[in-house]
Amino acid sequence: MIIEEMRQILTRDAMSMSHKFTSYFANVWNKFDMLAHGLFLISILLRFTVSEAHFHWPRMSYCLTLSMYYVRFMQAFYVEKNIGPKVIMVRRMVSGPVVIASGDHFISIIKSS
């Protein structure tokens, strides 16, 4: 996926590299993708460097990465005429409990540290 993002940057019609980067990062979803990929790489790094006592940090970063990839995947269905409204409805139903559950989990981890 990271290679595909780099290909998108390099195949832009802009003349110079700085214009290619600025035109690529003008789109909010491209920024979101790069943030998700960066967080995924940080998660992998944490996974192999953090001790067992602090292993909740890699798990939380994996969780955030997965959530970001889900949001990006759901964004692709917004354009579909038949499934788009259903995805919006499911997102609205799930967003409340997910925020509450993740907040409770995060607070319990901080209290245990």
Per-residue pLDDT tens over the stretch 48-91: 998 888 888 888 888 888 888 888 887 776 666 666 677 777 77
Q: In terms of Cα–Cα distance, which of 12, 45, 13 is closest to 30?
A: 12
Predicted local confidence at residue 42, as pLDDT: 93
Give residue limits of the domains in the chain.
Answer: 2-112
Nearest to 34 by CA among 3, 67, 70: 3
Pairwise CA distance, residues 84 & 75, whole Å: 9
What pTM did the predictor assign? 0.62
Q: What angle do CA 59, 62, 66 make, to 5 degrees?
A: 140
User: Which pLDDT belongs to residue 21?
Assistant: 81
Report how far residue 51's alpha carbon sits from residue 63's, in angstroms, rounded to the nearest whole number.
Answer: 18
